[in-house]
Amino acid sequence: MSNQEVYRTTNTEPRFFYGYIIVAASLLIILLTYGLRTSFGVFFKPMMNEFEWTRALTSGAVTLSMVMQGLWGIFMGRLNDKFGARSVITLCCFISGLGLLLMYLTSSAWQLYLFYGVIFGIGMGGVFVALFSTVARWFVKQRGIMTGIVAAGIGAGTLIMAPIANWLISVYDWRVSYLILGSIAMVIGIITAQFLRRDPTQMGLMPYGQNEKKGENTSPSVTEGLSLKETVATRQFWMLAMVFFSLGYCIFAVSVHIVPHIIDLRISATTAAMILAVSGGIQAAGGIVLGGIADKIGNRRILITGFVLIAAAMFWLPPIKSVWMFYLFAVIYGIGVSSGGIMEPIIVAELFGIKSHGLILGVVSFVFTVGGAIGPLVTGYLFDLNGNYQIAFVLCAVLSIVAVILGTLLRPIQK
C-alpha cells in the first residue's frame, strides 16, 4: 500500500498516539548522548593538566569530532529517509559509546583525536538528524512543542550529566568517569532505539493533526517537498545554513570553554560545572515552552529572538567576575540557545518540506557542526594568543548579530 493510500484510508487517530512514544524515546537518547557531548568542558582541564596540552590542542578534539559528526550526519540522514531511525540510532549509540569507552586508554594526543574526535564524532553523526527528522514526520500539529520537548533533552543532558561527570571525576578520575558514562549511554541508548519507527505509515497511521485544518493538510506530507538539489539552488538554504553555522560556533565555543574560563577566575570547578548545568536546565525548559509558543506566533520570530539574546549574553560575558552574574548569564544564554536550537528541524520542514527532510536536515546540520568544529578551536587559539577570552566571546556576539540579520530576511519559498 502506498503512502497516499494510507492517508486516504486512515481517517481517525487512535486514543493513544504512538508518536508520543517516539518523542519520549528520542528525548532520552538525546539527553544521554548530547549530555555527554556538552559535558566535555568538565573533562577539559583534568585532561589538559595531566598531559600539559595547550587549550587549542585540547579543543582540537572537539573540532575533529564536530567535523566527523557533520559528515556522518549527511550519510545518516539519507539512511534515515530510507530505513528509519531505529537502525540508525542503534548503530550511532554503539559507536559513540565505544568512543567514550576507549577514552579510558588515552595517553597521548593522537588517541584523544581518534577516540573522541573520530569514533565518538561518527557515532554522534546520526543522532540529531535521525531523531528530529523522525519527530517531524510523526507530527504536523504540535510539531513545534514536540520538537521542543526532544530538544529539551540537550539542555537536560547538560543539567544532569555535567554535575555527574564532575562528581565522578572528583571521586575517581576522568578516565574511569568516561568508562562509566560511556557504558550507560551505550546500553540505554541501544535499548531505547528499538521503540523508534521511521514514520506513521509503517503502523498504518497518519501524522498527528495532518487533516485537522479545514480538512486539508497543514504541512507537507511525507511525499511532498523539495529534493536536496532543488533546495541548495535557493537562497533561503544558504541563509539558513549561515544562521546555523553561527549557532553551532557559539554553542560549542561556550560549552567547551566556559568552565575553564570560570575556573581561571578562581571560582571552584564545582561551581563552574553547576553554571554550565544551569544553562542546560534553562535550555531544557526553554525548548518546551518556546516550542509551544512557536506553534502560535511563528518559528522565525522565535529564531530571531534567540539570537538577540545570545548576542546580548556574549557581549556581557567578558567583564563578568562574580558568581551570581555567571548564573544570570547562564539563564539569558540558555534561553537564547534553546530558541535557536529547536528551530532547525522545524524551519527545514517549513521551508523545504518533508520529502527529503532527513537528507536536507543532515546537510544543514553539517554546516552547524562546521561552526561547532571551528568555534572551540578558534576560541582556544585566541586564548593562547591573548591570554584571555575577551576577543573570542565578542566574536560569538558578532556572529549572533549576523544570524539575526539573516533570520529577518528568511521568507517561505514561493512555489
Q: How far is CA 243 from CA 86, 141, 300, 340, in A?
A: 30, 25, 12, 9
Neighbours of 345 (CB within 10 A): 27
The contacts of residue 261 (CB under 8 Å, 6+ apart) are 389
Cα–Cα distance between 190 and 123 in angstroms, integer? 12
DSSP state of 39: T
Burial label for 321, CB within 10 Å (0-12, 13-18, 19+), is exposed
Cα–Cα distance between 127 and 133 in angstroms, integer? 10
Q: Which residue has the cell 558514562?
A: 181
Cα–Cα distance between 99 and 117 in angstroms, integer? 9
Cα–Cα distance between 30 and 130 in angstroms, integer? 11
Out of 41-50, 62-71, 346-355, 360-369, pick the least confident.
346-355
pLDDT at 216: 39
pLDDT at 14: 54
The contacts of residue 116 (CB under 8 Å, 6+ apart) are 40, 61, 62, 65, 99, 100, 103
Q: What is the pTM of this model?
A: 0.72
3-state secondary structure (DSSP) of residue 318:
coil
pLDDT in tens, 228-253: 788 888 888 899 999 999 999 998 89
Residue 211 pLDDT class (50, 70, 90 cuts): low
pLDDT > 70? residue 390 = yes
Q: pLDDT exceeding 70 applies to what percent of the chain? A: 91
Spacing of C-alpha 43 from chain mean position: 19
pLDDT in tens, 149-165: 888 888 788 788 888 99
Residue ranges and CATH numbers for the domains of the chain are: 15-409 (1.20.1250.20)
Q: How far is CA 291 from CA 67, 151, 165, 311, in A?
A: 28, 9, 29, 21
Out of 22-36, 59-73, 158-172, 341-355, pick the least confident.
341-355
pLDDT > 50? residue 4 = no
Task: Give the DSSP letter string of 113-161.
Answer: IIIIIIIIHHHHTTHHHHHHHHHHHHBSTTHHHHHHHHHHHHHHHHHHH
The contacts of residue 265 (CB under 8 Å, 6+ apart) are 321
How much is the average pLDDT of 296-300?
A: 75
The x, y and z cell numbers of residue 9, run together, are 484510508
3-state secondary structure (DSSP) of residue 225:
strand
